Structure 1
């Protein structure tokens, strides 16, 4: 089994891809979990979700410019979820005491941050957590930069001071009233292992890389408005945070670009069908902001974006509560680590191989083919439990034995143009239908209709037993050729699938494509 090819197919599954709001958020706050917590009246949990991605949470949660709302798929169905209003109410009533942080051992590297605005303090905060000795150069007598512009209706002076106080509790050195010009910047660059500049404006074009924020392959990195060319608060935070990742990689002498495709804001590959989603208007505020109950109702409008097209139609996937991506990972685990012994065998052998999941999948990921190949691999490596398909294989063996198998021409015909092939399940479950169907076909089709009894080989195919399958196909082909290569009329969907898959050169009549026509079935009732 080609495991590299298998894992490539795993990437086709979009079930775990982020919702549009999460992908549009440049710091990728888990908006779905955040909103779900509010809907469950757990505002403390919602606040914790914010703190995981959002530095200086009470500040940023109150002034974020919420690009997530523009991406919300609810836009055309009553209006986007008012995510920012929900953030503001969570900041007010969900605030929980901060956990004590364990001091991070210093790594011996020194990094300077020029500018203590939004992106600068974010970079300094993250660098400190990574063990770097950080020194901030700030031209004014306080940190925060543009944050202070929001003092008033949106933020109180006390909130700003309390949130920024965390910077004083760290090992970060802050040099106030330090104006940095080009000459001073050059001195700083020569004195530190790396430098981040986030001054908002800078006279000289720094030409920072849009992905890594590195300035001309040097130890200087830039972010905030210098790079973003806009005044977005949340994008300033994102650039400072992403620049720190680059600085850390730069100082560790590893690639600055590998595996960074989904940083910042991007368009999610998650696609949803919205035909059955009801339009619901946004909850109106009775004051400047939502109260608790209004927030819960607004959170209830969230669609909880997730692709479930395959599990909606597949009983097998629902039974095992698994997505195709997780399924493929279990198969890979089965192949590489457990080597096919017991692990996931029941699940792998329970699929009916109908292919319906592939028909509805937006990415055309068909688990039928993957599971089929898995079974064949397990058989080849002698890891398939003998009992898994024993009954079906014995049933196939009996159906192809002298007790059931036969080929007969229509009485009075030395050679026939058509061959009725009812398969093995219809004769076994409703044997009384077979003579009636055959009689109807002989009376209504010219040029003669023969009858061939036997099994198409589906049980061997399902079991991954290619040796038995090839033997079965050869036997059918020999009988077909001896009968003069008639056109088959099939009475079983599984038989039609097998003939089309492995014996495509054998002509199937219109009856065969429809298996048994409704007219025929009505006639025998």
Structure 2
């Protein structure tokens, strides 16, 4: 990602766009921050906010004609905030701040003709920037038309105090000056730049030295034929003055003169000056209307309590629609624009080392952020871009996704993968593709679904076991994804280019996007629209109410989602919708390999989704079922309801299969289908080196948490028993053995008994520990993992060799 790409990503996030009130204000007063301070009763702090943006705040806050109120989102929810009245209350009840910061002198002078609000604004702005400013006017005191404002609106001492502050800043006043064309000509010779206010040099009834109409000057620079002279302060068409418009003219003219005296472009990058639009979106659905507060004493204005109450009506406009629905964005305390910057810095500055790696790799890529974002900002696209960049530059930490990629490789290995047409056929019209997770989690249900399809669909039904390759894409490994898709396509071609019936929403989405020429349909759509349910399925479960959880990969697949609900209805299940459902469904915590890169984040996401509905969930994805189950929701898979006899103990009783069991289940499913459907035998030998290894349930649970396969543990024990390379703890009689399998060192604590070996604990790390056994190669299934403990030195006790 280069700087231009970064700017493009940042521009797509609208969180930092100004609220409507600030955008509508010609001076861009931070109304949101002002209201927050006022609502807290911090009047002095609120005045400081005004003083940061307003010239002559004591004057302008009293006279502000509040164009911001027309843009207030509260206007249709009880009435716009009384911003003008609150500004007046603030400056009347909080002391003025100190002298504004003035930059060092730049050695250039500006003349200001006139002493009204526009002229005084120019003086203030240019003086702050280090220019010497002299204000020329015919009256005895500065103020111009401000001197005619009723005293109850603008007390004379307030105007005098602001003029005195300008003098303290360095502004020179020249009262009693006769303003004429000749005088203006003189200023062009004696000064570097000049500003002429509307009415300066007139008899009090016309524009004087200023063009009669705003259209007679450049709308951006407020200059006419001479770029060193600007104009401003025009009255409204009805002859009245808008204080905010006059101040805005003064600020714009000062910016032009500053650019002129600095020899830079007078027009570049000035789109945000003055009142402007905004892309900021603030959700108001569900926001209660609260009536605008009127002061009890209209003449006296707000009391302190009334001012706080009125300011509290502010909605604090901001977007954050994505953060509201995403635990990942909430965890890392930012919004997409800040993530784009962090991702860029991670690649361009720290070169991908230990800074934002976990944040980049933890996104579930579910796409919910893009659905709720008014601009369609997709963190999935940004995260995948960053992951691919890290892979391309060799900066992707092996611990992030290696386990998942090895699991994908095992699914596509000879032990588990299968691609066959129906028995006795060379090709088939349909092929059932359950996906690697359903095959690993529920081999019995997978087999039952295939048997049913073979009898219910015409044209022959084959089977393909394996992975769609999406873990490779999620990990930024487009090479692995392409290779997996190439294998799938070759098998599909060999089977006669059949229609693919996919049980997994992610597999279906992957095929639809990566291979649109391959006809693919959801298993649930086939069951709902073509075959119907198998006999007895509709009466299997008792009448129950379940919440429907849609896999995030089905958010743009309304046909599949409708089919799932139709099947539930036929099964006698009353389906309820959780708060976020369908197109706006939440991820279960598995997507994007979040569970591998950031297990704690995955648990948080799963718990959030599990708790979103008081009922148990009905799901159509094996991983969704297992993630929600582990988070405390007794989710039931749709196939559990359709084939209730295939899961011992009932559809919601059996706990999810662990990582080791999933790998065995995939190989076992292939053997079972070959034997039962095709009459072929394929044996699977689990290499244990002739050693019997047992593990208590609590030990297996720890291995699951640490992403350690029982096959890796058995390989370590078998090697230790064969070579005698192990440590003995004489106090307990237990052995500690290690082996480095691929990129990970595994340590196993066990003891021996008459029945073999009992494992008490195991842990792993990527650090190479001097003296540890460095056995080459992988475990019996082809590879280990790093787990969430990768990178920690857990070598354990060191005892003498037996």
Please tell me the TM-score bracket, short chain as reference.
Answer: over 0.9
Partner of 2:414: 402
SS of the residue 2:354 aligns to: coil
Partner of 2:187: 188
Structure 2, unpaired ranges of 5+: 200-206, 526-558, 568-637, 645-802
- Structure 1 contact 114–199 (Cα < 8 Å) conserved: no
Q: Distance in 2 between matches of 1:194 and 1:203?
A: 15
- Structure 2 contact 192–261 (Cα < 8 Å) conserved: yes
**Which of 560, 578, 590 is 1:514 aligned to?**
560
Partner of 2:605: none
Partner of 2:79: 79
Partner of 1:23: 23
Deviations 1:14-45 (A, max 9, x none): 11100110001000010000001111121111
Partner of 1:491: 503
Q: Distance in 2 between matches of 1:237 and 1:204?
A: 16
Q: Distance in 2 between matches of 1:44 and 1:173?
A: 29
Q: Following TM superposition, by how much is the alpha carbon of 1:351 offset from its aligned partner in structure 2, in angstroms? A: 0.7
Partner of 1:202: 208
Q: Distance in 1 between matches of 2:54 and 2:170?
A: 21
Partner of 1:524: 643
**How well do the aligned residues superpose, as a CA RMSD in angstroms?**
2.0
Q: Distance in 2 between matches of 1:170 and 1:359?
A: 52
Q: Following TM superposition, by how much is the alpha carbon of 1:50 offset from its aligned partner in structure 2, in angstroms? A: 0.6
Q: Distance in 1 between matches of 2:102 and 2:286?
A: 51
Query: In the alignment, does 2:112 pair up with 1:113?
Result: yes
**Which of 347, 356, 361 is 1:344 aligned to?**
356
Q: Distance in 1 between matches of 2:103 and 2:272?
A: 28
- Structure 1 contact 120–199 (Cα < 8 Å) conserved: no
Query: In the alignment, does 2:88 pair up with 1:42?
Result: no
Cα pair distance change 1:40/1:146, threshold 3 Å: same
Deviations 1:287-340 (A, max 9, x none): 131111111111111111111222222222112121111111112222222222
Deviations 1:44-74 (A, max 9, x none): 1111101101122222111111101111111
Deviations 1:134-174 (A, max 9, x none): 11111111101222222422122222222321123232221
Partner of 2:377: 365
Q: Following TM superposition, by how much is the alpha carbon of 1:271 offset from its aligned partner in structure 2, in angstroms? A: 2.9
Q: Distance in 2 between matches of 1:473 and 1:164?
A: 76
SS of the residue 1:389 aligns to: helix
Cα pair distance change 1:204/1:103, threshold 3 Å: closer
**Which of 306, 314, 318 is 1:302 aligned to?**
314
Q: Distance in 1 between matches of 2:521 and 2:172?
A: 84
Partner of 1:422: 434
Deviations 1:260-300 (A, max 9, x none): 11110012122333222211110121013111111111111
**Which of 232, 244, 249 is 1:223 aligned to?**
232
Q: Distance in 2 between matches of 1:204 and 1:302?
A: 41
Cα pair distance change 1:22/1:376, threshold 3 Å: same
Q: Distance in 2 between matches of 1:468 and 1:356?
A: 26
Cα pair distance change 1:484/1:494, threshold 3 Å: same
Q: Distance in 1 between matches of 2:319 and 2:416?
A: 47
Partner of 2:63: 63
Question: Highest Rg: 1 or 2?
Answer: 2
SS of the residue 2:194 aligns to: strand
Q: Following TM superposition, by how much is the alpha carbon of 1:217 offset from its aligned partner in structure 2, in angstroms? A: 4.0
SS of the residue 1:452 aligns to: strand
- Structure 1 contact 202–226 (Cα < 8 Å) conserved: no
Cα pair distance change 1:379/1:510, threshold 3 Å: closer
- Structure 1 contact 109–193 (Cα < 8 Å) conserved: yes
Q: Following TM superposition, by how much is the alpha carbon of 1:392 offset from its aligned partner in structure 2, in angstroms? A: 0.6
Deviations 1:370-428 (A, max 9, x none): 21122111101111111111111111011111121112333354422111111111122
The 5 A counterparts of 1:463-502 are 463-502=475-514
Q: Distance in 2 between matches of 1:481 and 1:105?
A: 77
Cα pair distance change 1:353/1:217, threshold 3 Å: farther
Cα pair distance change 1:261/1:394, threshold 3 Å: same
SS of the residue 1:136 aligns to: strand
SS of the residue 1:221 aligns to: strand
SS of the residue 1:335 aligns to: helix
Q: Distance in 2 between matches of 1:203 and 1:194?
A: 15
Cα pair distance change 1:11/1:230, threshold 3 Å: farther
Q: Distance in 2 between matches of 1:109 and 1:393?
A: 67
Residues paired across the two proteins, number: 524
Q: Following TM superposition, by how much is the alpha carbon of 1:226 offset from its aligned partner in structure 2, in angstroms? A: 6.9
SS of the residue 1:164 aligns to: helix
Partner of 1:5: 5
Cα pair distance change 1:331/1:103, threshold 3 Å: closer
Cα pair distance change 1:312/1:101, threshold 3 Å: closer
- Structure 2 contact 99–169 (Cα < 8 Å) conserved: no
Partner of 2:242: 232
Q: Distance in 1 between matches of 2:95 and 2:40?
A: 16
SS of the residue 2:154 aligns to: coil
SS of the residue 2:271 aligns to: coil
Q: Following TM superposition, by how much is the alpha carbon of 1:368 offset from its aligned partner in structure 2, in angstroms? A: 1.3
Q: Distance in 2 between matches of 1:503 and 1:375?
A: 22
- Structure 1 contact 137–178 (Cα < 8 Å) conserved: yes
Query: In the alignment, does 2:295 pair up with 1:285?
Result: yes
Deviations 1:168-196 (A, max 9, x none): 32322211111212222112112211001
Q: Following TM superposition, by how much is the alpha carbon of 1:101 offset from its aligned partner in structure 2, in angstroms? A: 5.2
Cα pair distance change 1:252/1:49, threshold 3 Å: same
Partner of 1:123: 122
SS of the residue 1:420 aligns to: strand
Compare the two structures and name the one with the higher strand fraction. Answer: 2
Q: TM-score, normalised by structure 2?
A: 0.63
- Structure 1 contact 138–175 (Cα < 8 Å) conserved: yes
Q: Distance in 1 between matches of 2:246 and 2:353?
A: 52
Q: Distance in 2 between matches of 1:425 and 1:3?
A: 40
- Structure 2 contact 102–127 (Cα < 8 Å) conserved: no
Q: Distance in 1 between matches of 2:67 and 2:55?
A: 17
SS of the residue 2:315 aligns to: coil
- Structure 2 contact 100–169 (Cα < 8 Å) conserved: no
Q: Distance in 2 between matches of 1:260 and 1:247?
A: 14
